Amino acid sequence: MPQRWLIATLAFFAFFNAYTLRICLSMAITKMTVPLNSTEKSIDETCPEFDDKAVKSNVTIHGGTFEWSEYTQGIILSSFYWGYVITHIPGGLLSERFGGKHTLGCGLLFTAIFTIMVPLCVQWGESTALIILRVLMGLACGVIFPSLNTLTAHWVPQQDLSLITALIFIGVDLGAIGATTLSGIILKHYSWPVVFYFFGGVGLLWYVLWLVLCFNDPEEHPFISKRETAYLREALNGHTHKNTPSVPWRHILTSPPFWALLAVQVGHDWGLYTLLTDLPKYMKNVLKFNVETNGYLSSLPNLCSIIYLLFISWATDKCVSANWVSKTNARKVNTSISTLLPAVFIIGASYAGCNRVSVVVMFTLGLTFMASSLPGIKVNSLDLSPNYAGTIMALTNGVASFTGILTPYLVGVLAPHQTLSEWRIVFWIVFCVFLFTNTVFLMCASGDVQKWNDPAFLNKERQEKDKIKPESRHDIIY
């Protein structure tokens, strides 16, 4: 088996576990908390019960233990990202310095351990203890994306970049499916602590396999064939180097393509985290789906995303390799698909009211087309600088992750009663953010390797600066 595909498989399961550990609380919290009293709502602002029989026969499913307001739940769901944004840059720098294997592995290991600790901590300290634990989970999980980007830069050739990266990122969608579907089944038959024990245990099992089978690059791998090593060396050495100079911060922070990538990453994550974190609550509190149906329907968009993602990634690689479209234009087209179409469908869902079929179809289509972000946004950091892909991913994904803090809080503030009109405001904000950030990307983005990726360029520039400094001091002294 080609070892780059084994690394991709392990990375796929890394993302799968990372997202199950991150999202399972969004489902479990619907059973942990006392249900919202909706008797004072206007009939125009709430949907009728979806299935009276199912609701009556599953009263215990909706009855929680903790009396947490929507505001408190928003703080709990956003607290993960308080820690998550802090460790992105350290994770990128550590992975570029020491390799991505142990940086990523330790991050996911501690995330799994903290997940297993959730039931005990909540029983002991309720919402305060859960918030602290979620912050710690975020700190551990923040290194995963930049570390994986560093591994990808050393294992994936450019001609396979979109497809292999797509296969890895399918772990995100399957992780969301696993978190929502399996959580719904577990919550129907068992108590909510089982959700955290199950997903945390799977994370620990993954770590053992990762420790044994993953390596930082082909040169370190003891089992890789000479043929594959030679192929990867030839395919990657053009833009990926060892012993690179320190991070060229000035060049990165003055690069228009970098700022375009950062802007659209913020916009994409704003919409993604709004739906990823709060869609189960919308399904339960607004559309009145019971917990098991909620789990299935919340995972449906992710299932469709997987099918679409494989197609669009294959098509993008094919078009770029055949020179039918430039890499820059391929990134811009995919990014526009991943922002503009979801913006339209999300607004359409908000005006579909209680027509559950229309709402589910529109949310499904919106989240499906967001999968174009992978061959549009996610791989763009590898386009701009394979050598510093971990740092660029850390900057863009780290800054964009602040939206994970802000969006659950905004939902708690803007939709305290979980009514249709309140949620409509939330979705209009998503629409405007999508539109603005995509415009910035279209104006300034690039799919070409930047000159500051080349160690020779950086070394020459720094040598010239070192020559100028002694001359300047000489002039001052004499």
Distance CA(97)–CA(243), nearest Å, equals 9
Which tokens hold the place of 78? Answer: 């956003």
Please provide residue 33's backbone torsions phi and psi, each rounded to the nearest 5 degrees. -105, 155
The CB density around residue 333, as the number of other CB atoms within 10 Å, is 18
Task: Say whether pLDDT at 84 is over 70.
Answer: yes
Which tokens hold the place of 308? Answer: 């679409």
Band the pLDDT of 280: cuts 50, 70, 90.
Answer: low
Residue 59: the pLDDT is: 34
Band the pLDDT of 113: cuts 50, 70, 90.
Answer: very high
262 CB burial (10 A radius; 0-12, 13-18, 19+)? buried
* Mean predicted lDDT score pLDDT of the chain: 80
Task: Say whether pLDDT at 43 is over 50.
Answer: no
Residue 433: the pLDDT is: 93
Least confidently predicted of 7-21, 106-120, 202-216, 283-297: 283-297
Task: Say whether pLDDT at 136 is over 90.
Answer: yes
Task: Say whether pLDDT at 156 is over 70.
Answer: yes
Taking residues 173-196, report their average pLDDT: 83
Q: Are 392 and 384 in contact (CB under 8 A)?
A: yes
CATH placement of domain 1-35+65-240: 1.20.1250.20
Distance CA(222)–CA(239), nearest Å, equals 24
Task: Say whether pLDDT at 78 is over 50.
Answer: yes
Taking residues 321-332, report their average pLDDT: 88
Taking residues 335-359, report their average pLDDT: 86
Taking residues 164-171, report their average pLDDT: 82
pTM greater than the 0.75 cutoff: no
Which tokens hold the place of 38? Answer: 């909706």
Task: Say whether pLDDT at 286 is over 80.
Answer: no
Band the pLDDT of 38: cuts 50, 70, 90.
Answer: very low
Among 400, 404, 235, which Cα is nearest to 321's?
235
Query: Which distant-in-sequence residues (6+ apart) come within 8 Å of 428 by Cβ?
Result: 347, 350
Which fold is adopted by the domain 245-466?
Answer: Growth Hormone; Chain: A; (1.20.1250)
Helices (H), 214-326: 226-236, 249-253, 256-281, 291-321
Which of 132-141, 172-181, 444-453 has maximum average pLDDT? 132-141
Instruction: Give pLDDT tens digits for 229-278.
Output: 887 777 766 555 566 677 788 888 888 999 999 999 999 989 888 876 67
Distance CA(39)–CA(180), nearest Å, equals 28
Residue 292: the pLDDT is: 56
Measured CA to CA in angstroms, residue 332 lies from 198, 321, 450 at distances of 40, 16, 17
Residue 477: the pLDDT is: 43
Task: Say whether pLDDT at 475 is over 70.
Answer: no
43 CB burial (10 A radius; 0-12, 13-18, 19+)? exposed
Taking residues 206-220, report their average pLDDT: 87
Band the pLDDT of 476: cuts 50, 70, 90.
Answer: very low
Measured CA to CA in angstroms, residue 24 lies from 9, 200, 300, 415 at distances of 22, 10, 16, 22
Taking residues 25-30, report their average pLDDT: 80
Least confidently predicted of 93-107, 152-166, 393-407, 428-442: 152-166
3-38 burial code (b ≥16 CB/10 A, e <16): bbebbbbbbbbbbbbbbbbbbbbbbbbbbbbeeeee
Distance CA(391)–CA(97), nearest Å, equals 11
Q: By three-state DSSP, how is residue 66 classified? A: strand
Distance CA(125)–CA(128), nearest Å, equals 6
Domain residue ranges of the chain, discontinuous segments joined by +:
1-35+65-240, 245-466
Task: Say whether pLDDT at 61 is over 60.
Answer: no
Task: Say whether pLDDT at 85 is over 50.
Answer: yes
Distance CA(215)–CA(195), nearest Å, equals 31
Distance CA(237)–CA(180), nearest Å, equals 41
Taking residues 53-67, report their average pLDDT: 49
Largest CA distance in the chain: 94
Fold match between domain 1-35+65-240 and domain 245-466: yes
